Amino acid sequence: MTLKEILLIKLNSLLNPKLESIVIRTFLSLGVLLVGVPSLLAVSASFTVESDDATFIAEINNGPEITFIAIGVLCLIVAAFFYFVQFIKEKKQKIIIDDITVTKDKKTIYDILKSINTNALDQAIERGLFSQFYDPALHYFYGVQGIAESSSFNIYNKDLNEVFNDFYSAFIAFVSHGEHFRETAHRDLHRFIKAHEALNWELRDKYENDYLSDVRSFSVAYSKFMDYVKNNYAYLDIEKTNQLAFEDYKSYNNTSFG
């Protein structure tokens, strides 16, 4: 059974209560009625009429009907039993859904790690702090973007989703300064524009400061994301995923590496 099918079943159960829910409400209402009403009616009522020569006292005493109360208690027991059965069933269903979402998150993280080479991103951050851009980082960004922008993409774990979104947003900002870089003799490095290449020197300094700020933000978000992955998905072999990402980079660029 897929996650979609389970969620549809859950939604249907909320919109169309099952027999168990109807039975629980019925027996609970009946039990409260049979126990509560006789108890409320079981009161003593009296009134007194006095005259100069005589006093008239009338008293009515309604004792609780034990039979009705007993039936009411039985109804409450039945309601409690069906509630317990329903609770256990829903708990098992939740465990199944949790297992499915955990499995899906594991696959998603593995796919993300296969799309990035952590060594390359480490180098990109190091180069970035010197106002340079390490070109392979852009390839790995497109890999992450392809996953994150997919219509089927979803991360169910709240904490994992948060650290990934921070990482992805910071990654977008990090690679968004391409217009301010120029090629160098090194095939993988681009340098930031120099003062004489900028139409406005003051804006050039602002552009560089913005880039350095995005590099630092990316470094922080990237570290948090990787730390979360290492602490919660320790079984993943990052060396292996690094190699897979690197092989994809080589294949895409049709380049031979020694």
In tens, the pLDDT along 190-243 reads 999 987 777 777 888 999 999 999 999 999 999 999 999 999 998 899 999 999
Lowest mean per-residue pLDDT among 29-33, 118-122, 189-193 = 29-33
C-alpha 136/C-alpha 86 separation (Å) is 55
pLDDT at residue 101 in the model:
86
C-alpha pair distances (Å), 164 with each of 36, 141, 152, 174:
55, 13, 16, 15
Average pLDDT, the chain: 80
pTM of the model: 0.64
Picking from 249, 164, 163, 176, the residue whose alpha carbon sits closest to that of residue 213 is 176
- Could you report the per-residue pLDDT of 13-27, keeping only the tens digit for each? 554 456 566 666 776
